[in-house]
Amino acid sequence: MKDKFVIKGGNQLKGEIEIRGAKNVAFPVLAASLLTDEDCFIDNLPLIEDVFKMLKVMEGMGVKVDWLGKRRIKVNTSQVNPENIPFDIIKFFRGAILLVGPLLARFGRIKFPPPGGCVIGARPIDTHLDAFEQLGIQVSGLGIEKEENGKFFYFQKKENFIPSFYTASFIVKENKQTTREVILKEFSVTATENVLLFTALSERKTILKIADEDYQVQELVKVLRRMGVEIKIRGGNKIEIIGKKKLEGFEYKIISDPIETGTFIIMALATQGEVVIKESELNFLDLFLKRLKDFGAKFKILDEKTIKIFPSGILKMDKIQSLPYPGIHSDLQPELGVLATQSRGPTLIHDPLYEGRFKYLEELNKMGAKIIFCDPHRSIVYGPTKLTGIRFASPDLRAGAALITAGLVAKGETIIENIYQIDRGYEKIEERLQQLGADIKRVEEK
């Protein structure tokens, strides 16, 4: 059985909605639990497919997960065995890359397949591998694995071939008096997190440069500090880490998802709605909100966790550029692209991070939008245009949410298939939109 969303557009969103826990915070926090034998308590877990996958991977390795409530769990990793990593799940789940750092730190050697995830362009893990090599870890990318009579045979990868799995190992040669330095090849959230997780069990001082400082990194830092790691965030995207050989368990409540907040803000604006959004992490959306205000959006911040969106008429956008934090998050670029179709004049959309982020724009053109593709990273959206509902498959997680927005404003019926991609990051999004007056249904399709 495959589900699809059926949307009849034209309804203004009205009412209140509460934001769920941050998907991209759940992954590194769960990974951090692998650094200790003690119990770890995690609250406000988002009940989404990617989180369930992460837990399934961990349980496959012997981690004990007890549900203490609807969104609260107790995790104990004292019996974890990295040799039991379920490869079949990881190959379709990119967030699992964050298991590499803590497992290497704890066991010294692992075998790990390249992770999967959204197809939004080239997303190699070379930044992770380069950082690990700077930390003294030997990484070999191997090709085909064959089992015969209980033994494994490894075939070396060919040039420009993505290996079926990697092996990584390191020898402990700790010198507490020597500071080591790691310079990332690019701003990468997950590579930053992996370095933090790996060095958390090392008493040697590590200086990480070109570190990403987005919300999920900041939250991971809070958790590692509670476990006993000494971490200082310096200016200029530099982080200093001094770990401990034995870390404590922790209790932590996952913050609300800033990306989900931005998603519902755009949905309200696009439908000329009046929506109160509660439990919002607005402090991570400064530039996003500033640009919306520049475009003519009407909203009021009621308190540090609550924002109210008002009907704003036709906006006038000019340029949207997604950049690493504190820039506008690439995950919100597709939503802004949909909003641009309902705005006056041309809007340049620039996403220098991923060349596959614009697949949703192709679907918008089929719905009646006027969009010119300049190159893989830049497009110009001309508006306002009337969108008409069509049938299509969700290209990826964030594009899927954006295309729901398009369906909410489109005339007629929009059918979105492959909604598993959307379920990976948004918890029962159709039920929550129904409470705001949207005409959206989940339909089972054989």
Give the residue numbers annotated as catalytic, written as ranges. 118
- Could you give the residue ranges of the DSSP H alpha helices within 82-146? 87-90, 100-107, 126-134
Report how far residue 337's alpha carbon sits from residue 323's, in angstroms, rounded to the nearest whole number: 15
Return the biggest CA–CA distance within the chain: 69
Looking at residue 88, its amino acid is D
- Structural contact between residues 441 and 6, judged by C-beta atoms closer than 8 angstroms: yes
- The closest alpha carbon to 35, from 72, 78, 3, belongs to 78
The residues with which 300 forms a beta bridge, in sequence order, are 308
Which whole-number Å values give the CA distances from 157 to 147, 162, 238, in the listed order? 17, 7, 35
- Structural contact between residues 222 and 22, judged by C-beta atoms closer than 8 angstroms: no
The arrangement of strands across the sheet holding 378-383 comes to 319-321, 345-350, 378-383, 370-375
Report how far residue 311's alpha carbon sits from residue 309's, in angstroms, rounded to the nearest whole number: 7
Burial class (CB in 10 A: 0-12, 13-18, 19+), 418: middle
Looking at residue 27, its amino acid is F
Residues 6+ apart with CB under 8 A from 233: 213, 218, 221, 239
Question: Three-state SS string across 203-269, please?
Answer: CCCEEEECCCCCHHHHHHHHHHHHHCCEEEEECCCEEEEECCCCCCCCEEECCECHHHHHHHHHHHH
